[in-house]
Amino acid sequence: MKRFIALALAIGFGGASAWASNLDVSVKSGGLNAVTVAPNTVVNFQVEGILSDDLNEGLALVGFDLHFTGGALASNTIVVPAGAIACGNPMPAFVKPDGITNPAGFGGTLIGSDLVQVGGGQNTIKNSVDNPACAPNCAPFPVGAVLTGVAQPAVCGTAVIATGSLTAPAVDGPYQLQVLNLFANVIKDGETGAVFFATLPAGVGTTTNLTINVSPCDGITSTAPSNCAIDARQPHQPGNPAALQGWNSVAMTFGAGCDVSGAIPGDFTIACTPAGGCPTITNANAVDQTVTVTLSSVIPAQKWTCITHTASGDQACLGSLPADANGDRTAAPVDILDIIDNLNGVRVPPLAVHQCDIDRSALCAPADILSEIDLLNGASGFLVWNGKTLPACPSATP
């Protein structure tokens, strides 16, 4: 199969036997050469290439076999990078009709479980009706203009040779997507393309394959605010019950085996204990392994609000009990002493901000003692919170 492209463009070879430059290739997913995913996850990847030097006019032809140790590849595994032909996206110039590929196309021929001879070459032979060496009996392809500088470090830089996707195996373990039998040509330095572009064979440099570690999703590992935390601060602005205050989002960090990159609100459910009056989930935003879930309103007072990740079954619960500074699920006068001890530096462990910053000033201060008393007694437009309780936190994870 290798001979098909090589012989088709043989007229463009310069004839030298020594390698002109080396081609380094790297297979990545999300910019990394190693990723951890859950079983049966779709893994997107790209094959990148860069030449070892600028002693040429860029890549003219590239081909390789693709092997996955986790199982058979499919004929539609590889996709040609889409978009206009340019330095940042050169490979359409290597695809029929602009370029030339093996008969099965740029994505390679499926032989057994492997894709053989992925890639293609540019029209360095200048097959065109405008070329008197060809007309009027030109071939139907290749017919495109040659793009110089492809994969040259100082010109176009790293080239995305191919993109694709595969499904990770169902069985845990490390697997590799491997580039094998790499070959390439470069345009000879100083070529103008007056008749054709002479090329030279490139050597094989460093090949870095993609390692795919398959691991079950181990669910939520941490949350912010922390799971089962109780917000003891005032539930609304003093004298204005309509101006609700409180947590309206939670950030959940998942284990490495969980693919949360495309998280949406539908991946989660929400429930309140006691039931009723729950907000809804309006947004889910993933950054790396952390998903921030945003709610339609603040969590309701004297309830637990629990957000559950459907796929793993893990959940994060946040409570709200105004005046419960010590977090024992009961608002009582003893909470005043906890705030005083905290301010004096004698309480162990110290209170968190959501426990002692009763007036939501972003600072634990003596004024919070007065706000605590107001909450317990029902002053300043607050309900009487003295004696109010919360049930046990519904969540045991994370």
Q: pLDDT for 143-190, tens place per residue? A: 889 999 999 999 999 999 999 999 999 898 999 999 999 999 999 999
* DSSP labels, 187-199: EPTT---SS---E
Query: Is the per-residue pLDDT at 338 higher than 80?
Result: yes
pLDDT of residue 1: 39
Structure confidence at residue 11 as a pLDDT band (50, 70, 90): very low
Average pLDDT, the chain: 90
pLDDT of residue 380: 95
Q: Average pLDDT in the 365-386 region?
A: 97
| Band of pLDDT at residue 260, cut at 50, 70 and 90 | confident
- State mean pLDDT over 373-380: 97
Q: How high is the pLDDT of residue 195?
A: 83
**Of residues 106 and 16, which shows the higher confidence score?**
106
Segment 30-34 shows an average pLDDT of: 93
At 131 the pLDDT is 61
Taking every pair of C-alpha atoms in the chain, what is the biggest distance, in angstroms? 98
* Ordered structural domains, the chain, with CATH: 2-214 (2.60.40.680), 220-377 (2.60.40.1220)
Q: Which residue from 370, 337, 361, 330 is spatially nearest to 351, judged by alpha carbons?
A: 337
Burial zone of 344 (CB within 10 Å; 0-12 exposed, 13-18 middle, 19+ buried)? exposed
Rounded to 10°, the helix 367-377/334-343 angle is 170
With a CB cutoff of 8 Å and minimum separation 6, the contacts of 96 are 105, 106, 120, 141, 142
Of 36-45, 190-199, 285-294, which has the strongest mean pLDDT? 285-294
Within a 10 A sphere around the Cβ of 163, how many other Cβ atoms?
17
Report yes or no: 364 and 342 within 8 Å, Cβ to Cβ: yes
pTM, two decimals, is 0.63
CA-based end-to-end distance of the chain: 53
> What pLDDT score does 80 carry?
83
pLDDT given at position 135:
62
User: Which of 30-53 are b and which e, b meaning 16 or more Cβ less than 10 Å from the residue's Cβ?
Assistant: eeeeebbbbbebebebbbbbbbbe
Q: What is the structure's pLDDT at 20? A: 73
pLDDT for the residue 272: 96
More confident residue, 298 or 172: 298
* pLDDT of 82 higher than 90: no
Q: How confident is the model at residue 218 (pLDDT cuts 50, 70, 90)?
A: confident
Task: Let me know: does 380 contact 239? Beta carbons within 8 Å.
Answer: yes
- pLDDT score, position 17: 45
Structural tokens at position 93:
């110039």
Over residues 272-296, the mean pLDDT reads: 95
